[in-house]
A and B are shown apart, each in its own frame.
Chain A
Amino acid sequence: AQSVTQLDSQVPVFEEAPVELRCNYSSSVSVYLFWYVQYPNQGLQLLLKYLSGSTLVKGINGFEAEFNKSQTSFHLRKPSVHISDTAEYFCAVSKGGYQKVTFGTGTKLQVIP
């Protein structure tokens, strides 16, 4: 079975500073990887996903993530954060094409003015 580990439960960062949210996965088969964002009192929405091809994936709101197979990682990055990026971010993995997705425990990003 596949799983994901989000190493940081909370990440405070100053506005306009860069940020990296870490995610490591484990799976014995090819996987799809996702990052979702949850704003307060809302459902999750997709930021970006990796299915195959280029290991650098660009998503919405200026976020990007890099798939690293040798390190089994899929870290999320943004070069300059805004107050509006304050939210909880979830890394997720699925066994390609099997629909069932396993979510990580989430990382709360707090952007400080």
Chain B
Amino acid sequence: DAGVIQSPRHEVTEMGQEVTLRCKPISGHDYLFWYRQTMMRGLELLIYFNNNVPIDDSGMPEDRFSAKMPNASFSTLKIQPSEPRDSAVYFCASSPSTGGSTDTQYFGPGTRLTVL
């Protein structure tokens, strides 16, 4: 398997613009997680899905952030409008609920977002 795929790898945008981050989980994994990593706050869970349904979005910072998972192989995290404080590395991870790897999260390479 190719692993978790994220795009773009780097994104530079100006304050106020809409940003969309994309994730393709590992085939067969029924959980998908979005994290944000910064020097100041470390690794934060933003939201996670089970079978395409959002389970816990308590980590989403504010209404400017939204996430969707229209099918088992694709998810998006959108920021509208973006602000400089959103600059961070955003990770997507997936995990299976059955088998020997249950509870193990497989991370993508991340998207480094810079908002000017």
**Which secondary structure characterizes the binding site on chain A?**
strand
B97 touches A99 (CB 8 A): yes
Chain B contact residue count (CB 8 A cutoff): 22
Contact A44 B107, CB 8 Å, known A99-B48, A99-B97: yes
Interface of B, helix, strand, loop or mixed by DSSP: strand
| A106–B41 alpha-carbon span in the complex (Å) | 11
Whether A25 is near chain B, meaning CB under 8 Å from some CB there, is no
Let me know if A44 and B97 touch, CB within 8 A: no
Pick the interface stretch among A16-24, A45-53, A70-78: A45-53
Most buried by A among B103, B109, B110: B103
Range, interface on chain A? 20 to 34
Residue of A43, A49, A94, A105 with most partner-chain B CB within 10 A: A43
